[in-house]
A = this chain, B = another copy of it.
Amino acid sequence: MARDSLETSPPVETVKRELRRAILDHRLPPGTRLTEEAAAGHYGVGRTVVRTALLSLSHDGLVTLERNRGAFVARPDPREAREVFEARSLLEPRAARLAAQRAVPADVEDLRRHVAEEHAALAQGDTGSAVHLSGLFHTRIAEIAAQETIASFVRALVSRSSLVIALYWRRHDTVCESHAHHELLAAIGRGDGAAAEELMQSHLVDLLSGLDLSDRVKPVSSLAKALQG
């Protein structure tokens, strides 16, 4: 169950987790500048720790590093947004099929809980958490498929999808129609791999079609102190 094959030290791990969470919850909108010193002061650690965390996050595509300029929350352009979903539709349907074949009752229960939490978050209008939980659902499926390599890719892609959604989401009413997640859950629960693969595929197409990938730009919040929220 090693979520990170590479073991990193607790402080840098903490900062990485916190930053990732802040970005995925959209508390740090895409384009936000992340000053090393500011983050270091905020988390009470040295700059080196923050630097390490930022380097890791940049590998996952959540942060963009510009030489001698600093780190910014990644701002995927429409082309990259399309690529992310293209890649997901290559990996996740197969993962869903495998997950359906291999899931044990505990796994299904776990997924059921995820869906429930996601539904609750949506009901409360907490879209930030909803997007996050929705991503966790997809990630969990890849993990159940017991393909650690693919799962790590899916984790990275789901993370970036969160950024894409923050930038280009069109239908503000439904975040990730939990309808699709319910059906997926059912298919996996009854071990129907073919159905799960099919459902995942169409679910991803749905997600992509919910984006507005015209070339307009969204405003960039300049201040990193959004962390305070």
Interface residues of A (CB under 8 A from B): 5-9, 52, 55-56, 58-59, 61, 64-68, 80, 83-84, 86-87, 90-91, 94, 147-150, 153, 157
Given contacts A83-B148, A90-B90, 7 further A-B contacts (CB under 8 A): A6-B55, A7-B66, A8-B65, A86-B147, A87-B147, A87-B149, A90-B94
- Considering the complex, give the chain B residue whose CB is closest to the CB of A81: B149
CA distance A94 to B88 in the complex (A): 13
User: Inside 8 A of A80's CB, which chain B residues have their CB?
Assistant: 148-149
How often does this chain occur in the complex, in copies? 2
A55-B56, A59-B56, A90-B150 are known contacts. Are A5 and B64 too (CB-CB below 8 A)?
yes
CA distance A91 to B9 in the complex (A): 33
Of the candidates B59, B67, B86, which one forms a contact with A150 in the assembled complex, judged by CB atoms under 8 Å apart?
B86
CA distance A84 to B8 in the complex (A): 23
Q: Are A7 and B65 in contact (CB under 8 A)?
A: yes
- Considering the complex, give the chain B residue whose CB is closest to the CB of A76: B149
Q: How far is the CB of A18 from chain B (nearest CB, A)?
A: 19
Q: How far is the CB of A94 from chain B (nearest CB, A)?
A: 6
CA distance A61 to B59 in the complex (A): 12
Q: Are A83 and B7 in contact (CB under 8 A)?
A: no
Of the candidates B55, B83, B149, which one forms a contact with A84 in the assembled complex, judged by CB atoms under 8 Å apart?
B149
CA distance A154 to B66 in the complex (A): 24
User: Inside 8 A of A8's CB, which chain B residues have their CB?
Assistant: 65, 67
User: Inside 8 A of A56's CB, which chain B residues have their CB?
Assistant: 55, 59
CA distance A202 to B32 in the complex (A): 45
CA distance A33 to B61 in the complex (A): 29
A87-B147, A148-B80, A148-B83 are known contacts. Are A55 and B58 too (CB-CB below 8 A)?
no
